[in-house]
Amino acid sequence: MARKPKKVTISSLKKKAPKVPPLTCIKIDHVISKLEKIVERKKPLDKKQLKELVKQLEPFREDNENLRDRGIYRYDTLHHFINTQ
């Protein structure tokens, strides 16, 4: 006897989905604020400041990758769901 296919629910799809990265606007504002202060002081950006800013910006690379993965997951899941209907 043939088995019934498992019912797909939104909650089951959410459990399998990649996690949503944290909000980054506050972090971006912080980096912009530091850059504005450097400009206001009319001093060149030194290596220490540059290293600090790069260190603060690097997590955005991972957050961006996570958002991209989540979008791909949603597209692929929806595509599979539509094609199996």
pLDDT of amino acid 48? 93
Mind listing the pLDDT tens digit for each residue in 18-74?
A: 777 777 788 888 889 988 998 899 888 899 999 999 999 998 888 888 888 888 888
pLDDT of amino acid 16? 78
In a domain, 24, yes or no: no
- Categorize the per-residue pLDDT at 5 as very low, low, confident or very high, splitting at 50, 70 and 90: low
In a domain, 28, yes or no: no
Give φ, ψ of 56 to 5 degrees: -75, -30
Query: Does residue 16 or residue 46 have the better pLDDT?
Result: 46
In a domain, 64, yes or no: yes
CA distance 17 to 20: 9
In a domain, 33, yes or no: no
Q: Residue 29's Cα: distance from chain center in Å?
A: 17
Pull the structure tokens for residue 18: 């990649």
In a domain, 35, yes or no: no
Q: Is the pLDDT of residue 17 over 90?
A: no
Pull the structure tokens for residue 61: 């690379």
In a domain, 11, yes or no: no
pLDDT of amino acid 2? 62
Helices and strands counted in the chain (H then E): 3, 0
User: Which structural domain range is residue 78 located in?
Assistant: 44-85
In a domain, 23, yes or no: no
In a domain, 29, yes or no: no
